[in-house]
């Protein structure tokens, strides 16, 4: 994969390392597929922070559109779905190596049929992630050792995280029987998810790559959304002006979903996958970061083709702390 300019990767020992890095990120998406509720209640492959990986508190809005078809024919009844998610989110340091990020969502969901409409709103499933950040330093110049000098940080950064998704959002069993089972405020289950995040910055260019695996549990209705893999890689360029900084970016992201289980039985055609492309930009001035992202599906197969993701848009405003 040709990322941008060859000199961005000069600090790597060989180009094989770059290829392995990218392959590692995308291989997380080649496992079996889950429920669309991951898209609505955990924002799917959306990130856990901004491109600067700064400590912050902020607000994020996510808009998603889906079309569901109740049948396999072109003239089967359809519904248009609008998922609006309003999130309080942040990243808070504990010490030099540990930090916590959290997402508190409020869901506002609408589904329109030809003859009627349905609406849900309320607190969604709260996510809390604990992170450990590994520190990497640049190698000292051979033959030059300065015992008084402070070690210079490397261009690479790696963080490992473990998150918990709490069942704070309401789950309605009767809605799970509809075409899109993800039309829910919450999953009703306590889930855990390990995650990994890698960043690289050099000469105004940067990479942010993350992958997350969601282990779903059975809720009190004996309903279990399938396990989920989310992954994303963003490439950005930093532009500094006299008034503010700009970071335009391109992103490839995706989700894969395992089949849903109810009363211990696997529900047919409830798995799926989606690959998305995104573009956007961040604008920062002082402690404030304003970001926009537009997402469109490149390839998808959700619930045997009965659900189609159409487009997504998100924006956020963060304040560094």
pLDDT in tens, 117-129: 999 999 999 999 9
* Least confident stretch, 25-39, 42-56, 141-155, 246-260: 25-39
Q: Where are the domains of the chain?
A: 11-138+152-320
- Classify strands 205-214 and 261-262 as parallel, antiparallel or unpaired: unpaired
Does residue 241 register a pLDDT over 80?
A: yes
Digit-coded pLDDT (tens) for 247-305: 999 999 999 999 999 999 999 988 999 999 999 999 999 999 999 999 999 999 998 88
Q: Are 49 and 56 in contact (CB under 8 A)?
A: yes
Predicted confidence (pLDDT) at residue 51 exceeds the cutoff of 70: yes
User: How far does Cα 161 stand from its chain's mean position?
Assistant: 14
pLDDT of residue 40: 39
pLDDT for residue 16: 42
Residue 230: phi and psi, rounded to 5, are -125, 140
Model pLDDT, residue 149: 60
CATH superfamily, domain at 11-138+152-320? monomeric porin ompg (2.40.160.40)
Quote the percentage of the chain above a pLDDT of 70.
81
Q: Which residues, in sequence order, are CB contacts of 281 under 8 Å at separation 6+? A: 246, 247, 248, 249, 291, 292
Q: What is this structure's pTM? A: 0.82
pLDDT at position 76 over 80: no
Q: How far apart are CA 254 and CA 151, in angstroms?
A: 37
């Amino acid at each position: 994969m040709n990322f941008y300019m060859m000199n961005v990767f000069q600090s790597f020992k060989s180009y094989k390392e770059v290829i392995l890095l990218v392959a590692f990120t995308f291989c997380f998406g080649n496992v079996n597929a889950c429920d669309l509720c991951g898209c609505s209640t955990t924002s799917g492959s959306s990130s856990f922070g901004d491109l600067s990986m700064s400590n912050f508190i902020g607000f994020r809005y996510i808009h998603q559109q889906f079309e569901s078809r109740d049948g396999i024919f072109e003239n089967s009844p359809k519904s248009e779905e609008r998922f609006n998610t309003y999130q309080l989110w942040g990243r808070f340091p504990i010490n030099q190596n540990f930090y916590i990020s959290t997402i508190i969502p409020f869901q506002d969901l609408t589904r329109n049929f030809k003859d009627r409409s349905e609406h849900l709103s309320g607190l969604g499933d709260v996510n809390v992630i604990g992170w450990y950040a590994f520190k990497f330093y640049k190698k000292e110049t051979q033959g030059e050792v300065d015992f008084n000098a402070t070690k210079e940080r490397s261009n690479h950064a790696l963080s490992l995280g473990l998150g918990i998704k709490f069942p704070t959002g309401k789950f309605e069993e009767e809605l799970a029987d509809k075409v899109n089972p993800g039309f829910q405020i919450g999953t009703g289950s306590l889930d855990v998810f390990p995650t990994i995040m890698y960043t690289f910055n050099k000469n105004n260019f940067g990479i942010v790559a993350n992958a997350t695996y969601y282990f779903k549990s059975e809720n009190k209705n004996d309903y279990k959304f399938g396990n989920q893999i989310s992954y994303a890689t963003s490439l950005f360029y930093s532009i500094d002006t006299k008034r503010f900084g700009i970071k335009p970016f391109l992103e490839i992201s995706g989700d894969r979903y395992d089949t849903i289980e109810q009363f211990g039985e696997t529900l047919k055609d409830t798995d799926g996958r989606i690959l998305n492309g995104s573009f956007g930009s961040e604008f920062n001035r002082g402690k404030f970061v304003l970001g926009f992202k537009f997402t469109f599906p490149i390839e998808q197969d959700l619930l045997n083709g009965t659900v189609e993701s159409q487009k997504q848009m998100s924006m956020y405003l963060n304040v560094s702390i």
